[in-house]
Each structure stands twice: as structure tokens, then as C-alpha cells.
């Protein structure tokens, strides 16, 4: 078994620790959000002196790629997704959609070199599987649309996307 396959097996094992009795893991994928605007430089709107007159929305759902009311499933999910340097795990089961994150260890873990093993996970967010209307994804971008009409687009490794979409 190569290193990547072993890491995926470890990931699946760690996700299974959070499943309910009788629940089946269908797929899991690392997800993140873009870490800010593109590196093309500031836009005219950002340079305009009038930008200070209009309040810039900073609340839930204000990020590009998130569509929905403040209490919608997509906005709630987006609140638990971080940038690419701190990815989350999105797991799809036969009953739920879960977001898991690496659990913070003790202060001693800060001084230990990182091993190849995945640290324990903690459950950050969940919703019933029935609330997910569709999952689509061209080239490393996963778009989740929920039954409440909200949607969110997340970044994923391109190789992990097809198994997640097929689940």
C-alpha cells in the first residue's frame, strides 16, 4: 500500500469514529476555501475613495462562493471551513454530511515533529443527508446545493473529488 492510500485509509478510520451505530461512510474529502482575493492586485472598487462610504458585508454569507440567508445550511457550513493551510474534512454518509477538523492537542504537541499519522478529529458541523440537494464539481471545486436553496463552493484536491461526487 502506498503512502497516499495509507493516509486515505487512516482518514476513513478516523471519520468512522464519529459515525452513529449502523451509519455508513460513503466518502470523505479535504476541503478549504480560497485564502483571499486573487493575486492580480487591487480592483478599481477597492481603490476607490467611495469604498469607505458603503459598508462591506462581513457577516455570514458575505464570502464569494456562498449563497444563502444568514441561517441557511450553506452559510452555516461555510462558517466552519478554513483556508487551505487549515483544511477540514467533509464526510458524506448515508445519513449525514459532516465537517471534521484536527483536534488541538496539548502544548507538548507544538514541539513534537509531525508524524505521518492523522491526529484525532473533532466534529465541527453536521446536517441530515436529506438536506443536501446536489454535489457537483468541476476541477477541484466542490459545489454543494442544499434543499433550502443555499449553496457553497469549496476547494478540494482534484483526485478526491470524483469519489465524493459518486457517493
pLDDT over 80 (residue 6): yes
Its pTM stands at: 0.77
Fold category of 3-33+56-166 in CATH? PH-domain like (2.30.29)
Write phi, then psi, for 161 (nearest 5 degrees). Answer: -70, -45
Contact indicator for 72, 150 with CB cutoff of 8 Å = yes
Judged against a pLDDT cut of 60, whether residue 27 lies above it is answered with yes
154 forms bridges with which residues in the sheet? 142
**Which residue bears the cell 434543499?**
147
Q: Is the pLDDT of residue 80 over 70?
A: yes
For residue 4, is pLDDT > 90?
A: no
How far is 67 from 145, CA to CA, in rounded Å?
A: 9
Q: How confident is the model at residue 52 (pLDDT cuts 50, 70, 90)?
A: low
Rounded CA separation 143/154 (Å): 6
Question: Has residue 53 got a pLDDT over 80?
Answer: no
The residue ranges of every structural domain in the chain are 3-33+56-166
CA-atom Rg of the chain in angstroms: 18
The pLDDT, as a whole number, for residue 115 is 55
Give the separation between CA 140 and CA 34, rounded to whole angstroms. 12
Contact assessment for residue 68 and residue 75, using Cβ atoms and an 8 Å cutoff:
yes
Bridge partners (DSSP) listed for residue 29? 90
C-alpha cell read off for 136:
457537483
160 vs 44, higher pLDDT: 160
Amino acid at each position: 500500500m502506498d503512502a497516499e492510500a495509507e493516509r486515505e485509509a487512516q482518514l476513513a478510520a478516523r471519520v468512522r469514529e464519529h459515525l452513529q451505530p449502523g451509519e455508513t461512510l460513503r466518502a470523505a474529502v479535504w476541503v478549504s476555501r480560497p485564502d483571499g482575493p486573487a493575486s492580480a492586485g487591487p480592483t478599481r472598487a477597492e481603490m476607490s475613495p467611495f469604498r469607505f462610504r458603503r459598508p462591506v458585508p462581513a457577516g455570514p454569507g458575505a464570502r464569494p462562493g456562498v449563497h444563502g440567508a444568514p441561517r441557511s445550511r450553506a452559510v452555516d457550513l461555510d462558517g466552519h471551513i478554513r483556508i487551505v493551510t487549515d483544511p477540514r474534512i467533509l464526510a458524506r454518509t448515508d445519513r449525514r454530511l459532516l465537517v471534521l477538523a484536527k483536534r488541538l492537542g496539548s502544548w507538548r504537541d507544538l514541539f513534537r515533529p509531525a508524524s505521518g499519522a492523522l491526529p484525532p478529529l473533532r466534529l465541527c458541523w453536521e446536517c441530515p443527508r436529506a438536506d443536501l440537494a446536489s454535489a457537483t464539481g468541476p476541477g477541484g471545486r466542490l459545489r454543494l446545493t442544499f434543499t433550502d436553496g443555499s449553496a457553497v463552493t469549496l476547494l478540494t484536491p482534484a483526485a478526491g473529488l470524483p469519489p465524493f461526487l459518486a457517493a
